[in-house]
């Protein structure tokens, strides 16, 4: 997709972070932007921010909806058609939440919340909008679907189970759509950021009341630590500009850099780790030790650097913060070293 001006864009999670950056960039490119989000107050603030950014108020539509709910998503889709006169030419599904804790401590609520927002809302949007987009635009006007996934789609850690599973699924879905939409003149892209300067570290604050039985240790302190980490992330507008360049050039995966080759090494390393899962336990142990030794060699100080003070830890716990990724104290089957006692 190359021409954006005068067309319609629908962005989920558009009230904050990456989604708001996308609304700014595609709004500035002349699109009418519908931002859908579960938080009304954040939507109100986002509209003002978009107007101050130079986007005409009449080109912005804010829709409050819990997009994990199919009826609410359908109502949001009807609203954008009613107000802007058609389905989106560009559908960007960016809403997402995260929660960290040992996978063995996870509850159904942890899975339902994280996978509900990160995967189910994406499926809802694709099933509701894609038929409408094909009917309205196939082989007449460019159209494109995007999902904001994560580098977490390519790797899984012991404390990111539901999130990594949802993001890996979303990536695969977008590869399916990229091929499926081609005969209709449409395209698909999956954006896989690393760290974004956003509010995702505060997501626990609005976890729905019926999904609050978490197995993880969550507190003001863990949120403070996450906030400090995300403050070091990429600027959402810069990320959205990288995405726009990716859509214009037909990239299916968009990595968070203007130079995708800089991330290729990391992708290759992740693939190697996946290949290693096919090895015997002993072979894998050996390979993992060798990889670690190689990494230490690469980062070991040499010459004058030996006397230099060590660099500050990038992802340390800030004052008043707490480590995240631990289990709730009362889970009696969880290894004590993995929980907050």
Choice from 1, 38, 133, 242 touching ligand NAI (CB under 6 A): 38
Q: Which of 164, 228, 220 is nearest to 197 (CA)?
A: 228
Site for ligand NAI in 102-141 (CB under 6 A): 117-118, 121
Q: What angle do CA 217, 218, 222 make, to 5 degrees?
A: 110
Rounded alpha-carbon distances, angstroms, from residue 132 to 70, 80, 119 = 16, 12, 20
Our finding on whether 160 is near ligand NAI (CB under 6 A) is no
Our finding on whether 27 is near ligand NAI (CB under 6 A) is no
* Region label for 303, one of left (φ > 0), alpha (ψ between -120 and 50) or beta (otherwise): left
The CA distance from 19 to 23, in Å, is 6
Q: What are the structure tokens assigned to 82, written together?
A: 């009613």
* Contact assessment for residue 60 and residue 37, using Cβ atoms and an 8 Å cutoff: no
Which among 60-68, 245-253, 291-299, 324-332 is the span making contact with ligand NAI, rule CB under 6 A?
Answer: 60-68
Our finding on whether 67 is near ligand NAI (CB under 6 A) is yes
Give whichever of 22 and 134 is closer to ligand NAI, judged by the CB atom: 22
Our finding on whether 79 is near ligand NAI (CB under 6 A) is no
Our finding on whether 99 is near ligand NAI (CB under 6 A) is no
163: annotated active-site residue = yes
Our finding on whether 240 is near ligand NAI (CB under 6 A) is no
Choice from 198, 214, 222, 225 touching ligand NAI (CB under 6 A): 198
Which among 78-86, 173-181, 196-204, 271-279 is the span making contact with ligand NAI, rule CB under 6 A?
Answer: 196-204
The CA distance from 110 to 163, in Å, is 10
Q: What are the structure tokens assigned to 229, written together?
A: 């980490």
Our finding on whether 150 is near ligand NAI (CB under 6 A) is yes
257 Cβ contact list (under 8 Å, min separation 6): 242, 263
Our finding on whether 97 is near ligand NAI (CB under 6 A) is yes
319 Cβ contact list (under 8 Å, min separation 6): none
Our finding on whether 148 is near ligand NAI (CB under 6 A) is yes
Choice from 80, 92, 94, 204 touching ligand NAI (CB under 6 A): 94
Q: How many CB atoms lie within 10 A of CB 194?
A: 15
Question: To 10 degrees, what angle do helices 121-137 and 70-84 make?
Answer: 30
Phi, psi of 90 (to 5 degrees): -130, 115
Which among 1-9, 94-102, 104-112, 315-323 is the span making contact with ligand NAI, rule CB under 6 A?
Answer: 94-102
Give whichever of 137 and 193 is closer to ligand NAI, judged by the CB atom: 193
The torsion of the CA quartet 267, 272, 274, 276, rounded to 10 degrees, works out to -170
Choice from 193, 215, 246, 321 touching ligand NAI (CB under 6 A): 193
Catalytic annotation, residues: 163
Binding site for ligand NAI (CB under 6 A): 12-13, 15-19, 37-39, 42, 66-68, 94-98, 117-118, 121, 148, 150, 193, 195-196, 198-200, 203, 230, 233
């Amino acid at each position: 997709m190359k021409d954006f001006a005068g067309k319609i864009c629908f962005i989920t999670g558009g009230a904050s972070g990456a989604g708001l950056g996308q609304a700014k960039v595609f709004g500035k490119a002349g699109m009418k932007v519908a931002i859908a989000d579960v938080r009304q107050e954040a939507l109100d603030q986002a509209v003002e921010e978009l107007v101050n950014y130079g986007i005409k108020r009449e080109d912005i539509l804010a829709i409050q909806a819990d997009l994990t709910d199919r009826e609410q998503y359908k109502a949001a889709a009807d609203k954008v058609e009613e107000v802007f006169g058609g389905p989106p030419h560009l559908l960007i599904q960016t809403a997402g939440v995260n929660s960290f804790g040992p996978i063995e401590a996870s509850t159904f609520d942890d899975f339902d919340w994280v996978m509900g927002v990160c995967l189910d809302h994406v499926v809802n949007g694709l099933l509701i909008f894609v038929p409408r987009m094909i009917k309205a635009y196939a082989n007449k006007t460019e159209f494109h679907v995007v999902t904001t996934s994560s580098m977490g789609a390519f790797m899984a850690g012991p404390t990111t189970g539901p999130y990594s599973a949802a993001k890996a699924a979303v990536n695969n879905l977008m590869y399916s759509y990229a091929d499926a939409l081609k005969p209709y003149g449409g395209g698909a892209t999956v954006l896989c950021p690393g760290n974004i300067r956003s509010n995702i570290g505060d997501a626990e604050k609005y976890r729905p009341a019926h999904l609050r039985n978490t197995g993880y240790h969550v507190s003001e302190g863990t949120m403070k630590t996450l906030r400090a980490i995300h403050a070091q992330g990429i600027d959402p507008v810069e990320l959205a500009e990288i995405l726009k360049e990716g859509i214009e050039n037909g990239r299916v995966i968009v990595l968070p850099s203007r130079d995708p080759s800089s991330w290729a090494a990391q992708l290759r390393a992740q693939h190697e780790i996946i290949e290693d899962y096919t090895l015997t336990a002993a072979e894998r142990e050996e390979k993992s030790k060798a990889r670690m030794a190689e990494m230490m060699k690469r980062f070991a100080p040499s010459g004058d650097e030996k006397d230099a003070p060590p660099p500050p830890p990038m992802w340390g716990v800030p004052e008043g913060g707490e480590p995240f990724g631990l289990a709730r104290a009362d889970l009696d089957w969880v290894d004590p070293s993995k929980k907050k006692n």
